[in-house]
Every structure is written in C-alpha cells, then in structure tokens.
C-alpha cells in the first residue's frame, strides 16, 4: 500500500517590509500553480501582508495566520507573526523597526529550518543597514545561515536554468580578495560546487570552468602572479583527482564568447566578477542558492529596491524561481516529498 506523499514545507522570511519583498512574494504566490509543489509559510506579520494585498488589489489572495507549524494548512498560504505588533509599513523608507522585524523573521525561520519543521527556506531581501548595530554585525544571508546551521563552509551560487555561477570569495572588500584566495580555498569551493551540481541539480560528472583573477587571466604572469602561483596549481591538483575542472579563463572573454554554455558551472574568484555577468544575463529570473549546507536555502537575486517599493511594479520572476528551485532541490534530496 502506497502512503500519500506530502508536499515539502518552505519557509519564507519576509525581509524588509518597506522594500519589495512582500510584493514579489504575494505576486509569486497569487498563482496557486506555483505552490502546488510546496506548502508556503511566511515568517513576518499578517498586517504587513494585508497592507500590500490591498495596495496591489489582490483581493482574492488569502492566507491563514498560524501560531506554529503544528497548525499548518497544506492547502493555504500560512503566516506566522514573529512580533506582537507589526511596525508601520512605509514603502521605500528605511526604518529601524523594519530591520528588527526582518531579523526576527529570519531568526524564527532558521530555527524551524534547523529543527526540521520546514524543509527549505527562501529569504526575501532585507537591508543590512537597519539590521546592524554595535552588538550585531550582519554581513549577509549566506554568512548568517551558514553560521546558524553550524556549517564550516558554504558556497554562494547563482542559478538560472542551466547557468550556474559560484564564488570563491563572497561579501569581501575587493582589496582583500587576492590575499584571501589560496590553493586550498579554490579546491574547497570547487569541491563543494561539484558535489552540489551532482547532488542538488542531478548532473552526472559535472564540468566546471574556473576563472582567473587578473585581466586576461594574468597573461602568464605579466598582469599578476595569482594564476601561475595559486589558481593553476589548484586546478592541476583537482584534475589529478579526476575532477572535471578547466581554466583559468579570462572572465571578460569567457562570458563575452558565451563559453558558460559549455559547462555545468562557472567558479568566479570574487563577487562582482561572477555577479555582474550573471545579473546581466538573468536579473529577472536568477536565484541565489547557498550550496554546501545541510539545509536548502534560496533567495531572489535582487535587493529591497526601495525606489520602486509600493508602486506595484516589482517583477516577481526571481522570487518565483527561488521558490520553485528550493522545492525542486528538496524533492531531489528526498523523493518521498512530492505533491500531495
């Protein structure tokens, strides 16, 4: 006798209520075909959702407020209030109160993720400025969640269909990049990437391209020594381990010639080297996936976009893709999770 399979539960931390996070979340979930693959739980506050539902004229969009996952309704959009009182919603305005709610939503969602009460987490954009204080430093979602779940390492990976770009270094000042990149770090990130491509994306014997650090990949030492002293030795040792890694490639020519289509993934040396071409190609549909964790976490690839918040024009494509990718990876990890 076959037991009925249950859809995975995805948490959504609501981010900054004065940015576009709620708008893109509601618009993505307004089409119930999107969440036939999962059960959504929004960590935030029902009053903030009601504000945007009215602003966006989504009168047919309904949600149910629950106190805990014990009350979850698998056929509805569920909302957990993470604070007693909802801060005033002021679209486009940075406030400390909105930052406090964003942090409380993230904390609550990550705790349920660690406890196995939700199977994946999608993080709506927040603003680091109104989260940080003398007692608390927030560098980014990736670093916060990596530390919170007790992982030693993770890998920021940008995904859009068959385009996957990962970063050796992430939220790091450019002046610190060269001294941070080592042979062991490149190998560590490449191995996480290869394992993720195989386990999370179902690719057999994945191939990755590794970019150089300097212009023209150093031109044999003429424009920098990192390729000759660090990057090439890392690649050669990975090849000796029978890993399908190639490079180092000059970043400009690589993307300019569309060589990313020849590989299952591209490993960039630093943030803008990977994200500028990625967002140029896939800004409205790209997803930020944190590989290498014992949990599944995705997010849209954009920020709070205060300049268009509350104008009902934000594109929900990236949020929709983040939700569907999280559900897809959860189901690939656990084939027992499926549409009920």
* CA–CA distance, 122 with 326 (Å, rounded to integer): 7
According to CATH, where is 3.40.718.10 located in the chain? 1-151+293-340, 154-284
pLDDT tens across the length of the chain (340 residues):
344 567 899 999 999 999 999 999 999 999 877 778 899 999 999 999 999 999 999 988 999 999 999 999 998 999 999 999 999 999 999 999 999 999 999 999 999 999 999 999 999 999 998 887 777 788 889 999 999 999 999 999 999 999 999 999 998 999 999 999 999 999 999 999 999 999 999 999 999 999 999 999 888 888 889 999 999 999 999 999 999 999 999 999 999 999 999 999 999 999 999 999 999 999 889 999 999 999 999 999 899 999 999 999 999 999 999 999 999 999 998 765 444 4
Neighbours of 79 (CB within 10 A): 23
Q: Which CATH class is domain 154-284?
A: alpha beta
* CA–CA distance, 201 with 100 (Å, rounded to integer): 35
Which CATH number is 1-151+293-340 given? 3.40.718.10
Q: Tell me if the bond preceding 248 is cis, omega within 30° of 0.
A: yes
Q: What is the DSSP string of 270-312?
A: SHHHHHHHHHHHHTTT-EEEEETSSSEEEEESS---GGGTTSS
* CA–CA distance, 17 with 32 (Å, rounded to integer): 23
- Residues 6 or more apart whose CB falls under 8 angstroms from that of 335 comprise none
SS3 of 233, please? helix
Residue position matching structure tokens 């942090």: 103
| DSSP 8-class letter at 13 | E
**Spatial contact of 90 and 304, defined as CB atoms under 8 Å apart:** no
Query: In the prediction, which pLDDT does 336 show?
Result: 54
Query: In the prediction, which pLDDT does 268 show?
Result: 98
Q: How far is CA 135 from CA 132, 138, 284, 330, in A?
A: 8, 10, 35, 35
- Residues 6 or more apart whose CB falls under 8 angstroms from that of 1 comprise none
């Amino acid at each position: 006798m076959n037991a009925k399979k249950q859809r995975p539960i995805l948490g959504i931390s609501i981010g900054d209520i004065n940015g576009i996070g709620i708008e893109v979340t509601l618009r993505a979930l307004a089409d119930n075909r999107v969440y036939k693959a999962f059960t959504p739980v929004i960590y935030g506050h029902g009053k903030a959702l009601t504000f945007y539902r009215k602003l966006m004229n989504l009168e047919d969009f309904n949600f149910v407020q629950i106190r805990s996952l014990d009350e979850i309704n698998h056929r509805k959009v569920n909302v957990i209030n993470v604070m007693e009182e909802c801060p005033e919603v002021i679209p486009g305005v940075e406030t400390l109160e909105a930052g406090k709610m964003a942090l409380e939503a993230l904390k609550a969602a990550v705790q349920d993720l660690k406890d196995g009460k939700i199977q994946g987490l999608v993080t709506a954009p927040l603003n680091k400025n109104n989260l940080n204080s003398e007692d608390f430093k927030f560098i980014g979602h990736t670093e916060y969640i990596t530390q919170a779940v007790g992982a030693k390492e993770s890998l920021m990976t940008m995904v859009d269909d068959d385009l996957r770009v990962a970063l050796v270094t992430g939220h790091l000042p450019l002046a610190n990049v060269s001294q941070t990149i080592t042979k062991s770090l490149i190998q560590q990130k490449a191995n996480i990437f290869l394992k993720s491509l195989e386990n999370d994306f179902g690719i057999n014997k994945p191939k990755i391209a590794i970019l150089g650090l300097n212009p023209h990949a150093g031109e044999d030492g003429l424009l920098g020594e990192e390729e000759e002293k660090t990057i090439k030795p890392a690649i050669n040792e990975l090849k000796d381990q029978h890993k399908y890694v190639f490079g180092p490639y000059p970043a400009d020519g690589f993307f300019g010639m569309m060589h990313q289509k020849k590989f299952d993934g591209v490993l960039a040396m630093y943030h803008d080297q990977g994200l500028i071409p990625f967002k140029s190609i896939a800004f409205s549909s790209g997803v930020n996936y944190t590989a290498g964790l014992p949990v599944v976490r995705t997010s849209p690839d954009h920020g709070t976009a205060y300049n268009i918040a509350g104008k009902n024009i934000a594109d929900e494509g990236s949020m929709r893709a983040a939700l569907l990718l999280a559900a897809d990876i959860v189901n690939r990890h656990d084939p027992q999770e499926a549409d009920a």
